[in-house]
Structure 1
Amino acid sequence: MTFKQFSIFLFTVVVSSVAVIIGSSQDANAQTTTPTQTPDLPESTVDHRFGVVESFWEAEEAAELEVGWDRILFYWNEIQPTGPDDWNTLHVLEEWLDDAREHDRLVMGLLKNTPGWATDAEPYSGVPRGLYLPVDDPGNLWAGYVAKVVKYYAPLGVHHWIIWNEPEIEAGVYGHEFSGSTRDYYQLLKVAYQVAKANDPEAVIHLAGWSYWHDPSWLGQFLQIAVADPEAKDHNYFFDIITLHIYFRVETVEELVNETWDIQRRYGLQKPIWINETNASPNLDPLWPVERPNFQVDLDQQAWFIVQAHALAFGADSTSVGIYKLMDVLLPEGGESFGILRPDSSRRPAFYAYQTVVRYLRDFTFPVGRQRAENFYAFTFNRPDSVTRILWSRNSADLVLKVPALADEALIVSATGDNERVVKAYRGHYRIHLRGARCTPECDIGGAPVFLVEAVDKPVDIDSMAAIDPETAIVATATPSPTPSPTSANTEIGAASTETPDAEPTATLTPEPTATVTALPTVTATSSPTSPPPTAVPSPTPASVSGEGEELAALSTDSAVQTTGDPGDGSPMDPPSGEGSA
């Protein structure tokens, strides 16, 4: 831990009291849900759809990454530790909020952790006392806290609030954070929504992050309760955004987002979906090794996951994606480290992968083109003056694809952005070599993804673009999946094929050695960041796929068929409880 981090940590444990007079305000109108097209985005120095949890710990790196949103924990038991008159403003440092405003970074507050004095059950997870009383009754302790925190922090730029974390996890299971029933959680949300909107007309209320695997039926049960409430429809069902937490198996990003849309449709809803936590922590990092029975992930794979998760999420019409997290603070040696920075602040390849994602996807517009074939994925993003495509192999075999060209030439870029070159179109297409995935034995993460960037005069029509013909794909020998060495490169896009089927040039990027990293200390990880607001909200309609070209433009649309495929067998090990694991 750096001296700066240690100083901040010590500072946050100081407790002081501040009296705040709570006023009343008019009710806010219900917010709209998902439009059919991307709305005009306000002028901004960042794209607010790209977030990194707990970015405030390293403000310079967050600015360099152009992080669009952060998430900060607002622990009730820390802000009001001994009673409703407490007001500890040092739990969330205003310098974090000042830095976020300076860099146009949205802050999302996560409200949770019942103090012992405010519940008749166990501290932290207990249902707040007086929860079913009217919101203006002093006996409704939760309403009083939400009113105070929203009114105080709205002028400091905090308008997005997540109400609790992963309430579906049962008592006795790692990550358990809420002891009430689903009905109790709905009431918790309903109170927070009414109070927050009354005290801040700009307030945006997010459902607690849903981890899915702990209880796949939870969202449906919650929505059943919500739609049965006669007051709900006139108040936007008392929430604005659905929040997902998805880890490790990258294709479940798409599957779970699509399932969430399906669940909503059954109840007549169409709320924006944000993925507020996603990542695949690299237990095979030689500088921070972690013993773990499942999901063997190396540094390259974490970087590849970052790229693929963004493509899959936006391709399934998620509004926003957030990586968990920038850095683990106060993490014991051998503890599971999710950060794209190591606990000593050194950069993992995933740091550069995130930076590359933002560089080549920033300001994209919906819809996103999507093509899923048996052995590859391809996504197409319209951006001002350019089109970015992301491609990768879904299994262990190397693959050569004939990608229809939109221009005479393109820039091909590695997952981490440190390997790029210009490729020329040949007879209306590019020949792109994709490296196979490392499968042990399951291919939980695809192979090294490739960015293909072309300059265009106007946006392409996603629905009419020529697709990559799967029948023209050339499958090479399967890539072995050995345990990567400490110097394994995360920047590779693919090595040249040993055989070329014809004289056409094949675009490849030569693997380069990974930069040496400084040895790592034993400490670090805690604290909390903030989340993003809904920018550029897509419509949940499957988009077709991509690629125009002269010779290949006549490809049958059948070749662009979007197969849905079955989810992977089984469920992953208990996913991390996100911020609760810090």
Structure 2
Amino acid sequence: MCCSRQLRTLPLALSLLLLAAAPPDPRFGVVESPEAPDWAARLGVAWTRVRFAWHEIQPNGPEDWNPPWPVERLEAERRAGREIVALVLGTPEWARADPQIPGVPRGLYVEESRPENLWAAFLRRLATTYPFIHTWIIWNEPDIWDPTYPGYTWGGTEADFVRLLRVAYRTLKGLNRENRVLLGAFTYWWDAVYGRRPYFERFLEALARDPEAPRSDRYFDGLCVNLYFNPDSLHDLIRWHHERMRAYGFDKPIWLTETNAAPSEDPAWPVPHPMFRVTLEEQAAFIGQAMAMALAAGADRLAVYKLVDNPTDHFANPEPFGLVREDGSPRPAFQAYQVAIRTLAGFTEARLVRRDRVAVVEVRKPDGRIWIAWSRSPQPQSIILQRQGTLRGAIDGMGRPVPWTAVAQGYRVTLPGARCGQRLGTACMIGGMPVYMVESALRPLREPE
């Protein structure tokens, strides 16, 4: 029936079967699942990032020890099947080399086995308190340079940051060679918007001046990025980071440790003066687009910031980032992420096929493939996607059945237009609700002609 013009939809029962829960894919995560473990289980994430702020754990001196997460609580996450990834940042004032410069610890340039190296001593105690944590992210967004901004935590030089990473790498690997050390996430935009050279480029220059770095695998096993609001920039900047590393003769895995498009128009948390106007539906549409673009760019792991809103978020951000509200009700983005996780679980590779009035990403799996497509304009777009197997179903980013038509070339489907509350160039910043076309393979997959 390759040439039938009959309009088809996937029955609701089949769409639910298509999204049947599978073992969690280790590549999909969320920030701070211990705050709401039941919601994390429903979401189906396999890893979570938790924050350890040195200045909160030891605020007054080395005798303090107030870790934010009880060991039992994090062990419960492990038993539930979620890997714990630790983010470590923030130097208490008493431990700073210079009280006026945040971040740089006293004794940083002393050999890490000596007690005068306060950073190494703190990491050693933290890692032995949580011996089941084997992935450590060193710092977060050191490229934030404005002292008046709440997220400003690093005032040292790029050489100081290389040293911070070096001490962390040697200390954590010395405790357990299986420990994985990740370079803390960069935002990119804190430099780009103000015409500054990107911090990551400056970091790589400083790293290249350390003669011991190549012998120690350059002191990190992978790096992190935090990118928000614009699916196109997720794709382009993940590739940019890979390109910058390759220019220095190496490459490392990249984790997207934070992404989201926080809504400004949720009645439960209105935002009078947002950076971008984003509806709840746009936030949900962003989730599928962001996952597709990040995978197409080669991201190894992905996480949404964050799982659930809490009262302290009102002081940190003007917008609400939780997939779940403070009152325990999920935003549409929760369901969108659940659909993306279940649809994409088990993927082997992804590539960006098209980016003009529409975006199309092809995701391959051992038993087939998935087309993910969305309109990048306010107008609906009719497109044809090539057939290579048997169509299991067509659903939108919320898991709802989508009508399609069989044609000689494959499948014709209409992509809904974007609300387009914010434009970037000629395209909408966030496109319309994405469509997933899920195929089972009848023959080995090949590149489209």
CA gap of 1:385–1:429, structure 2 versus 1, over 3 A, is same
The one-letter amino acid of 1:69's match is W
Instruction: Give distance in 2, aligned partners of 1:400 and 1:308.
Output: 18
Paired residue for 1:342, among 325, 328, 332? 325
Deviation at 1:386, TM superposition (A): 3.1
How does the TM-score come out when normalised to structure 1? Answer: 0.68
Instruction: Give distance in 2, aligned partners of 1:249 and 1:358.
Output: 20
Paired residue for 1:383, among 356, 365, 374? 365
Q: How does 1:236-385 map to 2 (within 5 A)?
A: 236-330=217-311, 331-332=313-314, 335-366=318-349, 368-385=350-367
Instruction: Give distance in 1, aligned partners of 2:54 and 2:206.
Output: 26
Paired residue for 1:432, among 410, 413, 424? 413
Partner of 2:11: none
Q: How does 1:475-494 map to 2 (within 5 A)?
A: none
Deviation at 1:424, TM superposition (A): 6.1
Superimposed CA distance per residue, residues 468-488 of structure 1 (whole angstroms, 9 cap, x where no aligned partner): xxxxxxxxxxxxxxxxxxxxx
CA gap of 1:82–1:458, structure 2 versus 1, over 3 A, is farther
Long gaps (5+) in structure 1: 1-43, 467-582
CA gap of 1:117–1:373, structure 2 versus 1, over 3 A, is closer
- Residue 227 of structure 2 aligns to a residue whose secondary structure is strand
Q: How does 1:86-105 map to 2 (within 5 A)?
A: 86-89=64-67, 91-105=68-82
Partner of 1:71: 49
CA gap of 1:423–1:204, structure 2 versus 1, over 3 A, is same
Instruction: Give distance in 1, aligned partners of 2:60 and 2:275.
Output: 42
Partner of 2:23: 45
Superimposed CA distance per residue, residues 108-163 of structure 1 (whole angstroms, 9 cap, x where no aligned partner): 11111212221243489341111100111111111111111112212xx2111111
Instruction: Give distance in 2, aligned partners of 1:373 and 1:71.
Output: 32
- Residue 371 of structure 2 aligns to a residue whose secondary structure is strand
Superimposed CA distance per residue, residues 451-510 of structure 1 (whole angstroms, 9 cap, x where no aligned partner): 11112246522xx224xxxxxxxxxxxxxxxxxxxxxxxxxxxxxxxxxxxxxxxxxxxx
Superimposed CA distance per residue, residues 74-102 of structure 1 (whole angstroms, 9 cap, x where no aligned partner): 1212333333344335x212233122211
> Do the aligned partners of 1:115 and 1:124 also contact (CA within 8 Å) in 2?
no
- Residue 187 of structure 2 aligns to a residue whose secondary structure is coil
Partner of 1:162: 137
Instruction: Give distance in 1, aligned partners of 2:51 and 2:386.
Output: 46
- Residue 247 of structure 1 aligns to a residue whose secondary structure is coil
- Residue 397 of structure 1 aligns to a residue whose secondary structure is coil
Paired residue for 2:441, among 453, 456, 470? 456
Deviation at 1:391, TM superposition (A): 0.4
Paired residue for 2:89, among 102, 109, 112? 112
The one-letter amino acid of 2:62's match is P
Partner of 1:194: 170
Deviation at 1:173, TM superposition (A): 4.3
> Do the aligned partners of 2:274 and 2:318 also contact (CA within 8 Å) in 1?
no
Q: Is residue 2:376 matched to residue 1:394?
A: yes
- Residue 279 of structure 1 aligns to a residue whose secondary structure is coil
> Do the aligned partners of 1:385 and 1:459 also contact (CA within 8 Å) in 2?
no
CA gap of 1:287–1:95, structure 2 versus 1, over 3 A, is same
Partner of 1:471: none
Instruction: Give distance in 1, aligned partners of 2:394 and 2:146.
Output: 49
- Residue 432 of structure 1 aligns to a residue whose secondary structure is strand
Partner of 2:201: 220
Tell which structure's C-alpha radius of gyration is larger. 1
Instruction: Give distance in 2, aligned partners of 1:124 and 1:229.
Output: 23
Of 134-143 and 168-177, deviating more is 168-177
Partner of 1:403: 385
The one-letter amino acid of 1:401's match is I
> Do the aligned partners of 1:284 and 1:298 also contact (CA within 8 Å) in 2?
yes
- Residue 445 of structure 1 aligns to a residue whose secondary structure is coil
Long gaps (5+) in structure 2: 1-21, 193-197
Deviation at 1:241, TM superposition (A): 1.0
Instruction: Give distance in 2, aligned partners of 1:369 and 1:313.
Output: 10
- Residue 411 of structure 1 aligns to a residue whose secondary structure is strand
Identity value in percent: 38
Superimposed CA distance per residue, residues 306-363 of structure 1 (whole angstroms, 9 cap, x where no aligned partner): 1001100110111111111111211449942111111212111100000000111001
Q: How does 1:477-516 map to 2 (within 5 A)?
A: none
> Do the aligned partners of 2:135 and 2:180 also contact (CA within 8 Å) in 1?
yes
- Residue 85 of structure 2 aligns to a residue whose secondary structure is strand
